[in-house]
Amino acid sequence: MSAQIIPVDPFDYVVFGGTGDLAERKLLPALYLRMKDEQFSAPSRIIGASRSAMSTQEYQAFAKQALAKFVDISYQDNEAIAAFLECLDYVQVDAKSDAGWAELEALLANNNNQIAAYYLAVGPSLFGDIAERLHRFNMVHDNARIVVEKPIGRDLKSAQALNDDIGRYFKEEQVFRIDHYLGKETVQNLMALRFANALFEPLWNSAHIDHVQITVAESIGVGGRGDYYNRAGAMRDMVQNHLLQLLCLVAMEPPASDDADAVRDEKLKILRALKPIDSNNFEQMTVRGQYVAGASSSEGAVPSYIDEITDEQSTTETFVAIKTEIENWRWAGVPFYLRTGKRMPMRASEIVITFKPIPHSIFDKNAGKPISNRLVIRLQPNEGVKQWIMIKDPGPGGMRLRHVPLDMSFADSFEMRAPDAYERLLMDVIRGNQTLFMRRDEVVAAWKWVDPILEAWVESATSPNQYTSGTAGPASAIALIERDGRSWHDVSEF
Ligand code: BG6
């Protein structure tokens, strides 16, 4: 089966930080793939903007090597690449001064009819300056959109300030806050699974679900992002955004439609219903970890976090496990266990819904004990869904029960390339569809829940528990769930 491509209106994408890592690894490759699939309408342009002195030809050369490096070889097509490079322009601008802004304004030629998307692939400290200059240089109009990347702040107060800086010049309908997890194919599939099937929704509540696990495990360390990461840590980098967004999609009430605000209203209710964790209960509900030297499946022997970032005193967490609950009628009493970490055994993200055990087994003990049904939604790698059920072991020899998966691997079923999250999100910006973007009040609600946890950790003056690189986190994270008579799903098992 192949995907249906609906072209978007002509646009000018201005990528601030156009020569940076995100542009190189994700944005330019994603835009190329969308163009190759004929999703662009002429005349569309991509304008790199950054402080580096560079000609348009040099920017095209930069983009060409980015595609060579980050687009799968089977999608590198000389003709398509040449056409893509033709769409590129470059302007040297300084976010902190007026240098280059008149040139950018001239390039956009005051064309208010064309969609203009300003992608801020730069640090949050520049958001305010860029938004203000876009306004002052007449580039904010009804067809303009601004796209910002996480982290949106490092706590509630700074997030509010950043949102104010942007909100001074752009209306909320023009602000696209990216959480790239929402663009992942399987994350969107979660909505289809829940709301396009009659099967699951009647069971999707505390009467039938025992608990939910959300795991985002990474095998990589902090690599070249040490400075940023050491200030952020896993809680701000992953939990405040990606994991909470996943939790919202699992737990929200069915929205009345897939309209952006209908969906985001429901997600917001979940964020506001999360059971608070603070200095009174953080020890029972959270675990922090930091990796020490060990082995990585792909890199062999790897150093400790503190050696990697060369900060012996660092108490930054590279792993977090949290037990939380959602205080509403649907979910009261159902634990949600979240965990994420760097230097875990493999890269694997999944959501596991474990149903309650059957009330009574009719089979004798030789048949084996029925195991609770489990729905495993695998976000990456090998995107797909497995519904684990009990069946009779085939063959003669009496009744023996066996736990098997009904297996649907999306890659195998659809014989198509799983698009990168950015491909979907970048085009949604042009379409003006905010469903997969975080609204301001969601960001605020997420920080309101996260801030007291971060504060409790700081006040406790304790350090994260150590775990060996290549393992599933500190022993205390295993205890967090095993205390409740449950265990973490083994991510290598999918
Ligand atoms: C980013 C985090 O948002 O997500 C990174 O800043 C993390 O630390 C990355 O590695 C994980 O994304 P993905 O798509 O590789 O799972």
Mean pLDDT for the stretch of residues 98-124: 92
Residue pair 408/375 in contact (Cβ under 8 Å)? The answer is no
Protein residue with least CA distance to atom 14, ligand 1: 181
Ligand 1 centre to CA of 407 (Å) is 27
Task: Please state whether the peptide bond connecting residue 255 to the residue before it is cis, i.e. omega within 30 degrees of 0.
Answer: no
Closest CA relative to residue 436, chosen from 181, 56, 90: 181
If one residue of 148, 152, 242, 346 were mutated to test the ligand 1 pocket, choosing by the most ligand atoms within 8 A of its CB, it would be 242
Q: Which residues pair with 185 in a beta bridge?
A: none
Closest CA relative to residue 53, chosen from 21, 100, 96: 100
Q: Is the CB of 149 under 6 A from ligand 1?
A: no
pLDDT score of 411: 65
If one residue of 178, 180, 339 were mutated to test the ligand 1 pocket, choosing by the most ligand atoms within 8 A of its CB, it would be 180
Residue pair 443/163 in contact (Cβ under 8 Å)? The answer is yes
Q: How many separate helices (H) and strands (E) can be counted in the chain?
A: 17, 18
CATH of domain 11-149: 3.40.50.720
What mean pLDDT, rounded, does the chain reach?
Answer: 94
pLDDT score of 153: 92
How far apart CA 397 and CA 376 sit, in angstroms, is 31
Burial class (CB in 10 A: 0-12, 13-18, 19+), 348: buried
Closest CA relative to residue 307, chosen from 287, 289, 291, 288: 291
How far apart CA 34 and CA 28 sit, in angstroms, is 10
Ligand 1 closest atom vs CA 179:
3
Q: Is the CB of 325 under 6 A from ligand 1?
A: no
377-396 tens-digit pLDDT: 999 888 889 999 999 998 88
Hey, what amino acid is at 73? I
pLDDT score of 297: 80
133-184 tens-digit pLDDT: 999 999 999 999 999 998 899 999 999 999 999 999 999 999 999 999 999 9
Ligand 1 closest atom vs CA 218:
10
Compute φ and ψ for 192, nearest 5 degrees. -65, -45
Closest CA relative to residue 148, chosen from 180, 183, 181, 120: 120
If one residue of 149, 231, 237 were mutated to test the ligand 1 pocket, choosing by the most ligand atoms within 8 A of its CB, it would be 237
Ligand 1 closest atom vs CA 150:
3
| pLDDT surpassing 90 at residue 409 | no
Ligand 1 closest atom vs CA 237:
6
Mean pLDDT for the stretch of residues 431-437: 96
Q: Which residues pair with 118 in a beta bridge?
A: 14, 146
If one residue of 218, 316, 351 were mutated to test the ligand 1 pocket, choosing by the most ligand atoms within 8 A of its CB, it would be 218
Ligand 1 centre to CA of 217 (Å) is 10
Closest CA relative to residue 178, chosen from 373, 434, 391, 359: 434
pLDDT score of 447: 98
How far apart CA 94 and CA 74 sit, in angstroms, is 37
Residue pair 401/392 in contact (Cβ under 8 Å)? The answer is yes
Protein residue with least CA distance to atom 9, ligand 1: 238
Active site residue 242: yes
Protein residue with least CA distance to atom 8, ligand 1: 237
How far apart CA 429 and CA 24 sit, in angstroms, is 19
Q: What value, to the nearest 5°, has the Cα angle with vertex 322 and ends 297 and 346? A: 10
180, 211, 242, 489: which one is catalytic?
242
CATH architecture for the domain at 182-419+438-493: 2-Layer Sandwich (3.30)
| pLDDT surpassing 80 at residue 465 | yes
pLDDT score of 3: 63
Protein residue with least CA distance to atom 4, ligand 1: 238
Q: Is the CB of 218 under 6 A from ligand 1?
A: yes
Return left, alpha or beta for 50; rule: phi > 0 is left, psi -120 to 50 is alpha, else beta: beta
DSSP H helices in 274-415: 282-285, 305-309, 410-414
Taking the CA atoms of 371, 375, 379 and 383 in sequence, report the sign of the dihedral they define: positive
Q: Where are the beta strands (DSSP E) in 203-335?
A: 209-217, 286-292, 294-296, 300-302, 319-324
Q: Is the CB of 237 under 6 A from ligand 1?
A: yes
Burial class (CB in 10 A: 0-12, 13-18, 19+), 295: middle
Residue pair 270/326 in contact (Cβ under 8 Å)? The answer is yes
Domain segments of the chain as ranges: 11-149, 182-419+438-493
Task: Please state whether the peptide bond connecting residue 357 to the residue before it is cis, i.e. omega within 30 degrees of 0.
Answer: no
Protein residue with least CA distance to atom 13, ligand 1: 181
| pLDDT surpassing 70 at residue 193 | yes
Ligand 1 closest atom vs CA 379:
16
Ligand 1 centre to CA of 429 (Å) is 21
Residue 211 three-state SS: strand
Protein residue with least CA distance to atom 10, ligand 1: 218
Closest CA relative to residue 194, chosen from 274, 249, 154: 249
pLDDT > 90: percent of the chain: 86
Mean pLDDT for the stretch of residues 239-249: 97
Ligand 1 closest atom vs CA 229:
8
113-132 tens-digit pLDDT: 899 999 999 999 999 999 99
Q: What value, to the nearest 5°, has the Cα angle with vertex 447 and ends 310 and 474? A: 45
Quickly count: other Cβ atoms within 10 Å of residue 255's Cβ.
18
Protein residue with least CA distance to atom 5, ligand 1: 237
Ligand 1 centre to CA of 129 (Å) is 26
Ligand 1 closest atom vs CA 225:
8
If one residue of 238, 305, 380, 424 were mutated to test the ligand 1 pocket, choosing by the most ligand atoms within 8 A of its CB, it would be 238
How far apart CA 231 and CA 439 sit, in angstroms, is 24
22-48 tens-digit pLDDT: 999 999 999 999 999 999 999 999 999
Ligand 1 centre to CA of 325 (Å) is 25
251-276 tens-digit pLDDT: 999 999 999 999 999 999 999 999 99
Ligand 1 centre to CA of 181 (Å) is 9
Segment among 196-210, 328-342, 399-413 with least mean pLDDT: 399-413
Q: What is the pTM of this model?
A: 0.95
Q: Which residues pair with 380 in a beta bridge?
A: 349
Ligand 1 centre to CA of 305 (Å) is 17
Protein residue with least CA distance to atom 2, ligand 1: 237
Q: What Å distances lie between residue 338 and 216, 382, 386, CA to CA? A: 8, 21, 19
Ligand 1 closest atom vs CA 232:
6
Quickly count: other Cβ atoms within 10 Å of residue 265's Cβ.
17
Residue 240 three-state SS: helix
